[in-house]
Chains A and B, each alone.
Chain A
Amino acid sequence: MLSRYGLRCFALGYLSLLLLAPLGMVFWRTFEHGFWPAWDSITTSDARHALYLTLLIAAIVVPANTVYGVLCALAIVRGRFPGKGIVNALVDLPLALSPVVVGLALLLLYGRTGWLGPWLTDHGIQVVFALPSLVLATIFVSLPFVVREVVPVLREIGTEQEQAAATLGASRFQTFRKVTLPAIRWGVAYGVVLTMARALGEFGAVSVVSGHIAGKTETMTQYVQAQYEGFNVAGAYAASVLLAILAVITLLAMTLVRRKEETV
């Protein structure tokens, strides 16, 4: 009995000291002087633009990686093609790679001295230090989530129902829409939530390629850093709280989706 309580206290104590207490502290510091000072510091034009940019990036990245994730999972599970093992390994790479390395790789491809740099300059296309590179960086780092959630579900459901549908004369698209998609929908949903969280919170890769132009290429996470380093700690805390609230909403969504996944 004693060891059970001991382990419980250890686990809860560890979580409180490492996760909850620091997060609570930021909330407390933010609202120390009331709600309105915090509100004022996240409604400056730079902060609003940073939030707009972050949401815009997520709005491009999440649909792109969701469609890709489902296609790629289908290819990995159902397809037989040379190099499948390589595709399978490469899909995981963004999870293991430092975001700074991702940013640097993009810079060396699209930057001034990069492979495509001169061609892009000649054609007046700006990728680095502009929205396209922010989107590319975020797509790179959040690429694996939908794939990784959908692959095990596809393995689990097998192909019998799809074969039955095909036997009954359903077209491939009909089979996908009416048989495969309903079966994998909670896996997709969970992947989308993870992709969303990563897209909203990406820092390292975006930091390398954005150029940190306040009000132009600064995302919400970079805004937090810029405010903190510019000694506007209150502004950094307020922006952090906003991001933390988005994170808590994400957690709620994750919990709900996981519960659905288990009951299906």
Chain B
Amino acid sequence: MAEPLAAPAPAAVRARSGQSAPGIGIGIATAYLSLIVLLPLAALVWQSQKAGARGFWDAISSPEAVSAIEVTLVASAIVALVNALTGTVIAWVLVRDRFRGKSLVNAVIDLPFALPTIVAGLTLLALYGSQSPVGVNVAFTRAAVVLALLFVTLPFVVRTVQPVLQELDLEMEEAAASLGAHRLEIFRRIVFPNLLPAILSGVALAFTRAIGEFGAIVLISGNLPYKTEVASVFVFSQLESDDISGAAAVSVLLLLISFGILLVIGTVRRYATRHDDA
């Protein structure tokens, strides 16, 4: 590890810190990632292919699987749309509004990230289940699935929109106002276009999270096939009834959806930050 005493030329330093310095790091990073993430996923894909393309198709097109995937996609889409609205409003209130206890509210936003999902499901069940003290009982309905997903996805849009809103220059809005623009017009033509990439990336993250959610849903939805059973619960029940290839096929489908959305998010991010990367 001994370095030459003579100061190297800047170009040489850059080359070293840019390439060989993290050389061991690159090796470890790649090896760890392969062992922990890639190898198990390869085993999963391999298992799903064992029954052939026909078996794969049969597994993901069985009525129960189709229903589970449909419930998952529809509920996730609803949740993503609701989050686009509520997340933007909450971010706006946190950045532009002033009231006592705002920092406390700001901290509470992260609660769904910190709280175990099974606890999230149980808390919702305590208030909105059959023992509800307020007389609202959504347990074992599709509304319960949406409610549980709204809980766990709450922070995504808020946390992506908040920093963008903070950076947004008030001068533009003031200029528009002085030129006689109406408040709604200012929002629609100045604030909203600036927030759109952040909202989209938050919505995509919320959607991905919703598609894969398991813990928050498992208690409150009742897991009724054809009604409230979502894809991840379906995979779990296939596994428990020893239908490994069925579970693997639907899992690979979920894997593909996740990967597709990640690619979309990456594209949106690159689009949003293209000035920085240049």
Contact = CB atoms under 8 A, between A and B. Distances in A.
Nearest to A206: B215
Interface of A: 3-4, 7-8, 10-12, 14-15, 18-23, 25-26, 29, 68, 71-72, 74-76, 78-81, 83, 87, 89-102, 104-109, 113-115, 136, 139-140, 143, 159, 162-163, 166-173, 194, 197, 200-204, 207-208, 220-222, 224-225, 228, 236-237, 240, 243-244, 247-248, 250-252, 254-255
Interface residues of B, number: 97
Contacts of A225: 118, 218-219
Contact of B40 (A11, A20, A102): A102
B231 interface: yes
Given A101-B251, A163-B17, A247 B115 contact: yes
Interface of B: 1-3, 5, 7-8, 10, 13-14, 16-19, 21-23, 25-26, 28-30, 32-33, 36-41, 43-44, 46-47, 86, 89-90, 92-94, 97, 99, 103, 105-119, 122-124, 126-128, 133, 147, 150-151, 154, 183, 205, 208-209, 211-215, 218-219, 231-233, 235-236, 239, 244, 247-248, 251, 254-255, 258-259, 261-263, 266
A166 B232 contact: no
Nearest to A254: B110
B122 A90 contact: no
Contact of B266 (A23, A89, A105, A115): A89
Contacts of A101: 44, 212, 232, 235, 251, 254-255
B38 A90 contact: yes
Nearest to A173: B1
A14 B91 CA distance: 13
Given A15-B108, A75-B22, A162-B17, A8 B119 contact: no
B119 A221 contact: yes
A87 B86 CA distance: 34
A91 B30 CA distance: 10
Q: Which of B41, B117, B119, B150 has the most CB of A within 10 A?
A: B119
6 contacts: A81-B26, A87-B33, A98-B214, A105-B40, A240-B118, A252-B107
A14 B90 contact: yes
A104 B213 contact: no
Contacts of A194: 113
A10 to B, nearest CB: 6
B116 A79 contact: no
A205 B94 CA distance: 34
Closest 4 CB pairs of A and B: A201-B116, A98-B212, A105-B40, A203-B215
A12 B30 CA distance: 44
A240 B122 contact: yes
A108 B44 contact: yes
Given A72-B33, A221-B119, A11 B89 contact: yes
Contacts of B108: 15, 19-20, 251
A98 B213 contact: yes
Contacts of A18: 147, 150-151, 154
A75 B29 CA distance: 7
A34 to B, nearest CB: 18
Given A8-B93, A72-B25, A105-B251, A29 B126 contact: yes
Given A100-B214, A167-B8, 19 more contacts: A11-B90, A11-B92, A11-B94, A11-B105, A15-B105, A22-B126, A22-B127, A75-B26, A79-B25, A87-B29, A90-B38, A98-B231, A105-B44, A114-B43, A115-B43, A159-B18, A173-B1, A204-B236, A244-B115
